[in-house]
Amino acid sequence: MSFSSQLWWALGMGLYVLAVLFGTLIPYRAMVARGMEPIRAVYYNRKIVHMLAGGVGSLVVPLVFTDPWWPLIAGLLFTLFTLLAHRLGLRMYWFQTPDNTNDVKFALMWGLSVSGLWWLLGDPWLAILPALYMAFGDGVTGIARNALVRRRSKSPIGNLFMLIVCVPLGWVIGG
């Protein structure tokens, strides 16, 4: 793909991720309106962001980019965006919490790991596999725990859901 084509894809994916981030305000409001504790709604939204932004974004990488610089730049830009939201008092309360900046770390590690593994392994599909584990595996784990345990905690049920998601991902992508 040409540079300009990849640039357009990068811009489009950036807008998509922003739409996911701001779009999760809708389920947050709906969950809170139905009586859910706001922190539980935030936790669900964090997992939605994991899967729709991190997971879908990861799946797009090997399909549209031919250079590992693109995910690195995107990851760094979203790291800066989410960090500034925390630091400037513009926290997106529907998925960011004042005591937890893991959303910032996720964006940073996504960009570093996808690009780093792509450079190291020379295969963008293998490079996205850990990001898919984190996005979909941890996303489904958190939703299952939140739905079944009904509070933010660790539970063996999460391990089971992580296994159910990650084994097929590894089998299909990793071989």
Rounded CA separation 97/44 (Å): 12
pLDDT digits (tens, 9 = 90+) for 18-61: 999 999 999 999 999 999 999 999 999 999 999 999 999 999 99
Asked if the model's pLDDT at residue 108 lies above 90, the reply is yes
Rounded CA separation 134/136 (Å): 6
Q: State which residues form the domain around 27.
A: 3-174
**Number of domains within the chain:** 1
Q: For residues 146 and 152, is the Cβ–Cβ distance under 8 A?
A: yes
Question: What's the half-sphere exposure (Cβ side, CA atoms, 13 Å) at 46?
Answer: 26
Nearest to 110 by CA among 34, 37, 55, 36: 55
pLDDT digits (tens, 9 = 90+) for 80-107: 999 999 999 999 999 999 988 999 999 9
